[in-house]
Amino acid sequence: MLIPLPSTPSAQESFKPRAVQFLIVTNLVVFVYQLYALYQGVSLAEVSGAIPTQILHRYSFLPPLPNLFEKTLLTSLFLHDVHIIQGGFIHIIGNMLYLSAFGPTLESMIGSLKFLLFYLLCGVLATLCYVIIYYDSNLPLIGASGAIAGVMGAHFAACPKARVRCLLLIYIISVPAIVLLLPWIVIQLVNVYFSFQGASIAWAAHVGGFGVGMLLIGKFQRTWFRPKQETVKIRPYL
């Protein structure tokens, strides 16, 4: 089993992925605060998680439509499972490892500010994908997985051959990103199919985020300001 490790764009060793670092620190700080709140008897997941029935509004003669101004679409992206028995620490550790592995290369291509906006947009859209599919669910959706899946999808579309460091047993090796990304998305699709009636893991948000990332990355590369040094020229995804 390959475990992704923090990576730095090979063409620019001095590059500092400030946005990735900021997101990792923010997620860890929020996780500690979640533990403190839980100790005080408050579940932030229930307060600030994205609950489909609360986000979708029902109107006469119209299908349920999401409230795009619902704050939990953003706050849920920084919450993780804090229940150790349910794999809480694995949840945040896994997410941060994948972010640190695939985020820096993407940030070096589009710039820190655009990367941060891209991350949040992918996370919100991934959450909406889940909300629309599980529109009658009262369970809160939490986690950065949808946003990170967007980063992974963008990486897959833009630079599948860029190398990522991984831990294989006791060895650290470098492999093309596609070696990790292709099996990952296949697993997500299979799980979406076999757990469509509900699951403790939001597979649909993962797939939605990955697809959104693939579709949006070309637009983010072509518009607004560009970073001073572009380490990899991105190809538009069609």
Pairing type for strands 2-4 and 56-59 reads unpaired
Does residue 41 carry a pLDDT above 70?
yes
C-alpha to C-alpha distances, 111 to 22, 117, 165, nearest whole angstrom? 14, 10, 22
Contact between 101 and 6 (Cβ < 8 Å): yes
Q: Which of 93-102, 128-137, 145-154 is predicted least confidently?
A: 128-137
pTM of the predicted structure, to 2 decimals: 0.88
The percentage of residues in the chain with a pLDDT greater than 70, rounded to a whole number, is 86
Contact between 122 and 209 (Cβ < 8 Å): yes
The pLDDT value given to residue 135: 87
Does residue 198 carry a pLDDT above 50?
yes
pLDDT band at 85 (very low <50, low <70, confident <90, very high): low
Reduce the secondary structure of 154-212 to three states and give it as a string. HHHHHCCCCEEEEEECCEEEEEEHHHHHHHHHHHHHHHHHHCCCCCCCCHHHHHHHHHH
Does residue 62 carry a pLDDT above 90?
no
pLDDT band at 82 (very low <50, low <70, confident <90, very high): confident
Does residue 233 carry a pLDDT above 50?
no
* CATH topology classification for 2-222: Rhomboid-like fold (1.20.1540)
